[in-house]
C-alpha cells in the first residue's frame, strides 16, 4: 500500500523542477564576483603585455629615421609610467572610449564585436555537441543492463581527456579533409566549415558531462519518487524525461559553468588552427602584433562572456536545484 508521502513525492518534485526560486541576493553576489574577475583579467593582461617591451617598435619601419621610435612612443603615451598608463587605459575601458588599435587604427572594441558572431556560432555548436554526446553516453552508462555498455561509454569518454586539442584537430583534418575529402580543412562560409572546429572544441565537454550526468542519473534512479512513479505505471517516456532526466540536470548545469572557461580558452587555439574568423584568432594576431588596445578589448569581451555564461548557468542550476543558493 502506497503511503501518503510516497504518493505526494512525484508531484512535489515535479513542482520543484519547474518553479524558479532564484534568490536575487544570490544572483547579485555572483554578478559582483564576475565583475571582479573581469577587472582582474584585464589588469593581468595589461601588465603582462607591458612587460614584453615597447609596442611602438611595431609601428615603425625597420629603415625609419633616427628619432622616429621616440616620436611614436610619445605620441601613444608609451613613455609614461606604467601606473599612469594603467589608470588612463582602465578609465578608457570604463567609459567605453578605447584607444585606437595600433595595427588597424580604429576602435578595437568595434573590431572585436565584429568577430563575435562567428565565435558565438562555434561555441554554441561545440556546446550542443558536447551536451548531446556526453549526455547520451552518461545516460546509457547509467541505465543499460549490459555490463559492457555500463563501462565502455565512460571509458571512451575518459580516454578523450588524454588527447591534446591541437593533436585532435590535426587528426580530424587528416581523416576528414586529406584522406576522405568530405570536409574543408579550414576557413568559414558554410556549415561544412563549422563541423571540424565544433567537434574539436566540443569533444572536451563530453567526458565531464558524461561522468556527471551518469552519477546524477544513478542517484535519481535510486530515489523514492522514481520507484513510486514506476509502481503507478507511468510510461517510459514520461518517466525518463520528467522524472529521471529532468531531475538530473541541476548538477550537470553546474559543471557547464566551469566548462565555460574551457570553451572560451580552447576557442583561441581551435580558431587559429582552423582559421575560423572569431575573437580567438583575432586575439592571437593582436598578441603577435603587440596591439595593446586590441588585446585588452579581446580579453574584456571574453571575460564578460565568461561571466555571463557562468551567471546564466548558476541561475539555471538554482532553478533545477534550489539548495544551491542556500
**Which tens digits make up the pLDDT trace of 198-222?**
999 988 889 888 988 888 888 888 7
Which of 97, 131, 149 represents a domain boundary (last residue)?
97
Residue 107 resides in a domain: no
Residue 153 lies in a domain: yes
Backbone region of residue 233 per phi and psi (left: phi > 0; alpha: psi in -120 to 50; beta: other values):
left
Q: Give me the pLDDT at residue 174, please.
A: 94
CA dist 98 and 187 (Å) reads 30
278 falls within a domain: yes
* Summary mean pLDDT of the chain: 80
Q: What is the pLDDT of residue 262?
A: 61
Same domain, 35 and 151: no
- How much is the pLDDT for 260? 66
Please tell me whether residues 128 and 234 are part of one structural domain.
Answer: yes
* 14 in a structural domain: no
**Which pLDDT belongs to residue 176?**
95
91/122 same-domain check = no
* pLDDT score recorded for residue 305: 81
277/132 same-domain check: yes
The verdict on 59 and 163 lying in the same domain is no
Q: How much is the pLDDT for 200?
A: 92
The reply to whether 193 and 284 lie within a common domain is: yes
Euclidean distance between CA atoms 274 and 280, whole angstroms: 11
Q: Tell whether 69 is covered by a domain.
A: yes
Q: Are residues 264 and 137 in the same domain?
A: yes
Claim to verify: residue 170 and residue 82 sit in the same structural domain: no
Residue 222 lies in a domain: yes
Burial 294-312 (b: 16+ CB within 10 A, else e): bbbbbbbbbbebbbebbbe
For residue 261, tell me if it sits in a domain: yes
Residue 6 lies in a domain: no
pLDDT given for residue 179 in this prediction: 94
pLDDT on residue 68: 82
* Number of compact structural domains in the chain: 2
Residue 326's pLDDT is: 52
Residues 241 and 196 in one domain: yes
Q: Which of 202, 194, 200 is nearest to 171 (CA)?
A: 200
User: Which residues of the chain fall below pLDDT 70?
Assistant: 1-23, 58-59, 236-237, 239, 241, 243, 250-251, 254, 257-258, 260-262, 264-266, 317-326
Question: Side-chain half-sphere of 147: how many Cα atoms within 13 Å?
Answer: 0
User: pLDDT above 90 covers what percent of the chain?
Assistant: 16
CATH number at residue 220: 1.10.3720.10
Q: Are residues 136 and 76 in the same domain?
A: no
Tell whether 150 and 82 lie within a shared domain: no
Q: Which structural domain, as residue segments, surrounds residue 44?
A: 23-97
Q: Whole-prediction pTM value?
A: 0.76
Given this model, what pLDDT does residue 266 score? 67
Which pLDDT belongs to residue 282?
92
Burial class (CB in 10 A: 0-12, 13-18, 19+), 284: middle
230 and 190 in one domain?
yes
Amino acid at each position: 500500500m502506497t503511503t501518503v508521502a510516497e504518493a505526494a513525492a512525484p508531484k512535489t518534485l515535479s513542482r520543484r523542477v519547474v518553479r524558479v526560486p532564484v534568490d536575487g541576493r544570490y544572483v547579485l553576489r555572483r554578478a559582483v564576483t564576475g565583475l571582479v574577475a573581469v577587472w582582474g583579467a584585464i589588469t593581468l593582461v595589461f601588465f603582462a603585455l607591458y612587460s614584453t617591451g615597447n609596442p611602438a617598435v611595431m609601428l615603425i619601419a625597420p629603415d625609419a629615421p633616427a628619432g622616429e621610435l621616440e616620436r611614436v612612443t610619445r605620441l601613444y603615451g608609451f613613455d609614461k609610467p606604467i601606473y599612469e598608463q594603467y589608470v588612463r587605459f582602465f578609465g578608457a575601458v570604463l567609459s567605453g572610449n578605447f584607444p585606437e588599435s595600433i595595427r588597424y587604427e580604429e576602435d578595437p572594441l568595434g573590431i572585436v564585436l565584429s568577430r563575435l558572431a562567428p565565435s558565438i556560432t562555434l561555441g554554441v555548436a561545440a556546446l550542443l555537441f558536447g551536451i548531446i554526446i556526453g549526455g547520451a553516453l552518461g545516460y546509457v552508462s547509467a541505465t543499460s543492463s549490459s555490463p559492457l555498455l555500463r563501462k565502455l561509454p565512460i571509458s571512451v569518454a575518459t580516454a578523450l581527456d588524454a588527447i591534446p586539442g591541437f593533436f585532435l584537430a590535426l587528426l580530424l583534418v587528416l581523416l576528414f579533409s586529406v584522406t576522405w575529402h568530405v570536409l574543408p580543412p579550414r576557413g568559414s562560409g558554410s556549415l561544412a566549415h563549422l563541423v571540424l572546429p565544433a567537434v574539436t572544441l566540443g569533444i572536451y565537454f563530453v567526458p565531464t558531462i558524461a561522468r556527471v550526468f551518469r552519477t546524477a542519473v544513478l542517484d535519481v534512479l535510486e530515489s523514492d519518487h522514481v520507484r513510486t512513479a514506476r509502481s503507478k505505471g507511468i510510461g517510459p517516456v514520461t518517466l525518463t524525461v520528467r522524472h529521471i532526466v529532468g531531475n538530473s540536470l541541476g548538477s550537470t548545469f553546474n559543471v557547464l559553468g566551469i566548462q565555460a572557461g574551457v570553451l572560451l580558452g580552447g576557442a583561441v587555439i581551435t580558431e587559429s588552427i582552423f582559421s575560423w574568423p572569431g575573437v580567438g584568432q583575432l586575439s592571437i594576431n593582436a598578441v603577435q602584433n603587440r596591439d595593446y588596445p586590441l588585446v585588452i578589448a579581446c580579453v574584456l569581451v571574453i571575460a564578460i562572456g565568461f561571466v555571463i555564461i557562468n551567471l546564466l548557468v548558476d541561475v539555471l542550476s538554482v532553478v533545477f536545484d534550489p539548495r544551491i543558493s542556500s
